[in-house]
């Protein structure tokens, strides 16, 4: 999302004293900045900031958020992690949930990788032009299944296969049936 803003007019606005610094911006260099807003997540909060780092909007979550996108309708698409999801995939980047919340942080849609003991989202997602979302997942493949598919050695007793899931979230209204995986692509 890159919405034009009026750039700061004075040098004073462009240099922020240490004690006056805001979320996310330490220095503003007009010739290097993209004219617009920045969206980022820090633990359980996703921030939308302006060019000077002032918070325009923030959304809180009950989960740790890694990746977030603003949709064309102004809703927030985000992923999330919880302890239950990480029980079987205890590693960095493990998420497990996707949610869409409105501007007021009210839940519109959610999706959970199920069952969490063999399938888990990780390291992000990518909205695509038709409103669908591609999600990168790990899928646990037991040693026996790996060997049946031709793998000789499985030193850890399982393989975490990358798996891409395509979802179609309803970005504008709450969905009573959120578990809508349209397509799953395995890497082997």
Provide, rounded to the nearest whole percent, the portion of the chain with pLDDT above 70. Answer: 69
Average pLDDT score over residue span 27-35: 81
pLDDT per residue as tens digits for the range 124-165: 788 887 778 888 888 888 889 888 988 888 888 888 888 888
pLDDT of residue 178: 47
Q: Quickly tell me which residue has 């060019």 as its tokens.
A: 51
Three-state SS for 74-131 is CCEEEEEECHHHHCCCCCCCECEEEEEECCCCCEEEEEECCCCCCEEEEEEEEECCCC
pLDDT per residue as tens digits for the range 98-113: 899 999 999 988 888 7
pLDDT over 50 at 43, yes or no: yes
pLDDT of residue 86: 56
CA-closest candidate to residue 151, choices 163, 140, 159:
159
Instruction: State pTM to two decimals.
Output: 0.73
Round to whole Å and give the CA distance between 171 and 156. 40
pLDDT over 90 at 5, yes or no: no
């Amino acid at each position: 999302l890159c919405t034009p803003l009026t750039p700061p007019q004075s040098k004073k606005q462009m240099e922020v004293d240490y004690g006056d610094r805001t979320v996310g911006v330490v220095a503003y260099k007009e010739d290097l900045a993209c004219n617009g807003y920045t969206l980022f997540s820090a633990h359980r909060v996703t921030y939308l900031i302006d060019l000077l780092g002032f918070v325009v909007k923030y959304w809180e979550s009950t989960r740790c958020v890694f990746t977030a996108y603003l949709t064309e309708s102004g809703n927030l698409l985000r992923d999330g992690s919880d302890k239950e999801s990480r029980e079987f995939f205890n590693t960095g980047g493990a998420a497990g949930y996707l949610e869409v919340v409105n501007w007021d942080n009210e839940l519109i849609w959610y999706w959970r990788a199920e069952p969490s003991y063999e399938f888990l989202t990780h390291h992000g997602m990518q909205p695509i032009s038709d409103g669908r979302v591609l999600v990168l997942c790990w899928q646990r493949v037991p040693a026996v299944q790996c060997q049946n598919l031709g793998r000789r050695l499985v030193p850890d007793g399982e393989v975490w296969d990358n798996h891409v899931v395509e979802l179609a979230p309803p970005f504008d209204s709450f969905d009573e049936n959120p578990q809508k995986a349209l397509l799953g692509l395995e890497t082997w």
